[in-house]
Amino acid sequence: MRHGRTPFIIGFLAVPVALYATFVVAAYIQTFQLAFTNWSGLGTIKYVGFDNFERLWNDDLFWRSVGHNLYLLILLPIITIAIALVFAFLLNAGGGSHGGKTRGIFGSKFYRVIFFFPQLMALAIVAVIFGRVFSTDESGMLNGLFPESWSPWLFLADERWALTCILAVMVWQAVGFYVVLFSAGMGSIEQEVYEAAALDGANRITLFFKITIPLLWNTLQVAWVYLGIAAFDAFALVNIMSVDRGGPDGATSVLAMMIYRNAFEYSQAGYASALGVALFFLTLTFAALTLRVTRREAH
């Protein structure tokens, strides 16, 4: 009965493990190794100790990029989850209760289909579209919609607002996914719970805060983690949409953008890897904090 068990296990694991070890595990490990070299990408590799990290510590653009990542990390989940929760609630219970049953709002299926679509599009394509939507002249959708007496808005070309524009696009793309996700979660909440609360005279706003949110807590945590990961990325948006790829004047620079430019444009493979290590520890901190908050809330 156990005939051929070991060869079978090895045979099934060989290719996936080999691929994963070569392209993923080895790459992650080498990030740590290269971070201690001044390698340009060509020629011999020389170890330089903590030089890269010292340089990073004194690099203004690095700290600004970290700041921008944190800005996205905090605001993207909060705004997206808040909007998605409200919409999901309106779609599911917005029709009020009729004959003791809470109903979805009229057209809820239609809204769900439309809202979800942006999630299907590549961030790169979204970035190209919104690069045009935010255009600073009359060819842009928004400036074209504004009254002609207004002077054109600068959007991405304005240092103060460029990062907010990028955040807005991320929210635009993400909301629909979480509406669907939260709707599924809300659908699994027992009708009786709502009915009992409604009988006690709870209005819809009380229902939302006292019943929906607590019962949805697990899904909210998942959403938080997903959006956190998305906030650490933003590469496609910054690379395609922003002025000067990270500008104007570094106003939209994020770690991913810095890593890419150092690795492939400035021939600074060592420094790019050091940035990768910094990103590793930021991600780890985010994960640890999330776990910690999760645990506290569980009690």
User: Which parts of 86-115 interact with other proteins (CB under 8 A)?
Assistant: 86-87, 90-91, 94, 96, 99-100, 105-107, 110-111, 113-115
Window 224-263: residues binding other proteins (CB under 8 A): 226, 229, 232-233, 235-236, 239-240, 256, 259-260, 262-263
Q: Does 209 bind other proteins (CB under 8 A)?
A: no
Question: Please, what is the minimum distance in Å from the beta carbon of residue 113 to other proteins?
Answer: 6
Q: Is 193 in the site for other proteins (CB under 8 A)?
A: no
Q: How far is the CB of 189 from other proteins (least distance, A)?
A: 14
- Binding to other proteins, residues 140-169 (CB under 8 A): 141, 144-145
Q: Concatenated DSSP letters for the chain? A: --TTHHHHHHHHHHHHHHHHIIIIIHHHHHHHHHTTB---SSS---B-TTHHHHHHHT-HHHHHHHHHHHHHHHHHHHHHHHHHHHHHHHHHHTT-EETTEE-PPTTHHHHHHHHHGGGGS-HHHHHHHHHHHT-SSTTSHHHHHS-TTSPPP-GGGSTTTHHHHHHHHHHHHHHHHHHHHHHHHHHTS-HHHHHHHHHTT--HHHHIIIIIHHHTHHHHHHHHHHHHHHHHH-HHHHHHHSTTTT-STTTT--HHHHHHHHHHTS--HHHHHHHHHHHHHHHHHHHHHHHHHHHHHH-
Q: Applying CB under 8 A, does 132 fall inside the site for other proteins?
A: yes
Judged by CB under 8 A, does residue 1 bind other proteins? Answer: yes
User: Which of 217, 264, 289, 291 is close enough to bind other proteins by CB under 8 A?
Assistant: 264
Give the nearest distance from C-beta 31 to other proteins in angstroms.
5
Report the residue number, 96 or 214, with the smaller CB distance to other proteins: 96
The nearest distance, CB 51 to other proteins, in angstroms, is: 17
